[in-house]
Amino acid sequence: MEYYDIIKRAADDVHMEFTIVQYEQFITYKELLKEWNNKMNLTAITEDEGIIKKHFIDSIKAFKAEPFKTCNSLIDVGSGAGFPGIPIGIMRPDLSIVLLDSLNKRVTFLNTVAEELGLKNIKAIHGRAEEESRKKEHREKYDVATSRAVANMSSLSEFCIPFVRKGGYFIPLKGPAIEEEITTSTKAIKLLGANLEEIIPVNIEDSDLKHNLVVVKKIGNTPSLYPRKAASIQKKPIV
């Protein structure tokens, strides 16, 4: 129960229930992450406290944005080692979650974690965002799209907003220096059929870590031109 109190405080801060069962799921997740990280590159953070604070609590803080509490479907784009999607799924086992990743080995890991934790609400799929969002089963189908990827907001918006239904939200987890990214992504967000609503600052318990949730609401349909191919998105972001 070494980390129960700090996770509980984070859950309390976002007004989410936190149980012993959920705590045990997080600890199992931590051990699986460390075990699989010996076989493949999942995270550079390998100390228990770092995993708890920089991965788990950072992901739990997504619930500072109300849509995470009320949505029925969510896609985590470029999920990697499962952040923020799996912690969100632990906190909300009623929420239908798709974890999308372009590397098959990571997808295998994600589905293993979901199975080991008994999270029947989570499914990991293999694919590239710019291709999957053009498929009928994924395009404009989700209440919320999220990502903790390191791409700039303009590129990330083009990868993620096409997944979101009209009236839904794209809410990425971003670092502390967000102002310039927002300025350069305003055109892309509008062009893709969305509107920036707010930026929510996030503090991590017992640390100096500060992050932001960028809340973008989908107000219209994304034009069929988007997303473009990955090379175009990355080399020529919409500005």
Beta bridge partners of 100: 77, 125
What's residue 197's pLDDT? Answer: 97
- 6-49 pLDDT per residue, tens: 999 999 999 999 999 999 999 999 999 999 999 999 999 999 99
Q: Poorest-confidence range of 27-36, 65-74, 127-136, 142-151? A: 142-151
What's residue 171's pLDDT? Answer: 98
pTM of the model: 0.96
What's residue 161's pLDDT? Answer: 98
Q: How far apart are CA 187 and CA 201, in angstroms?
A: 23
For residue 150, pLDDT over 80 is answered with no
- 172-219 pLDDT per residue, tens: 999 888 988 899 999 999 999 999 999 999 999 888 888 999 999 999
What's residue 151's pLDDT? Answer: 83
- 84-123 pLDDT per residue, tens: 999 999 999 999 999 999 999 999 999 999 999 999 999 9
What's residue 119's pLDDT? Answer: 98
- Please state which architecture CATH assigns to domain 4-235: 3-Layer(aba) Sandwich (3.40)
What's residue 36's pLDDT? Answer: 97
Please name the residue that has the structure tokens 């969305």: 194
What's residue 19's pLDDT? Answer: 98
What's residue 149's pLDDT? Answer: 75
Residue type, 232: S
Query: Cα torsion at 122, 125, 131, 132 (round to 10°)?
Result: -30
Answer yes or no: are the C-beta atoms of 186 and 167 closer than 8 Å: no
What's residue 210's pLDDT? Answer: 85
